[in-house]
Amino acid sequence: KRSPGSAIKPLAVYTPALQNGYYYDSQVKDTLKSYGTNKYTPKNWNGVYSGELPLYEALALSKNTSAVWLLNKIGIQKGYASVKRFGIPLSKSDNNLSLALGGMKEGVSPYEMAAAYTAFANQGVKYQPHLIRKIVDSSGKVIVDNSKVDSKRIISKKIANEMTSMMIDVYKMGTGTSAKPYGFTIAGKTGSTESAQRIDGEDNDHWYIGYTPD
């Protein structure tokens, strides 16, 4: 389990924002700002701040300042509840603004993140993930059949489709352009984490989550 970095933003920030009155083209802030008594001050990965920009662009360009500003506006509790609804395990200490950027006590596995994103890929219905589709023995008897797996609607079809539309831009013109497979339309999110223990200035982990119309 590792910090998901910005890959958590669709779950913790942008989905609950759409559910609470924001639109894909709503204007959000992109400025350096401190929050709370501890002066929590998120910074953008590239040090670029535009002052204000539309919601879909803030997601595509992975603006940290916008994500934290937006979570603060809709309420931390709504973001926390949204992440849990997507099936991501959280600690009580994760209920703070840094959750918008993947700040979590325990972190999350790629398996858990892939499971969460099935809700976007399946128009709001989250499916129980599995690695084996079917096992058939030499006589043709089915030993394992995962064609019917547990599923649950966790967001509306409308919200899921709006999120997919915005996340196409991540790989079309945002932080995921270098990872886009040739010839495919792909939606999803990128993320990166940086450790203070590293002295070379490089990120520890890179996340690329994506799905196609198929």
Contact between 96 and 47 under an 8 Å Cβ cutoff? The reply is no
- pTM listed for this prediction: 0.91
- Specify the pLDDT at position 198: 61
Task: Please give the chain's pLDDT, 214 residues, in tens.
Answer: 999 999 999 999 999 999 999 999 999 999 999 999 899 999 998 899 999 999 999 999 999 999 999 999 999 999 999 999 999 999 999 999 999 999 999 999 999 999 999 999 999 999 988 889 999 999 999 999 988 889 999 999 999 999 999 999 999 999 999 998 888 999 999 999 876 556 666 668 899 999 997 7
pLDDT on residue 199? 61
- For 61, counting Cβ atoms within 10 Å of its Cβ (0-12 exposed, 13-18 middle, 19+ buried), the class is buried
List residues bridging with 65 in a β-sheet. Answer: none
| pLDDT for the residue numbered 196 | 56
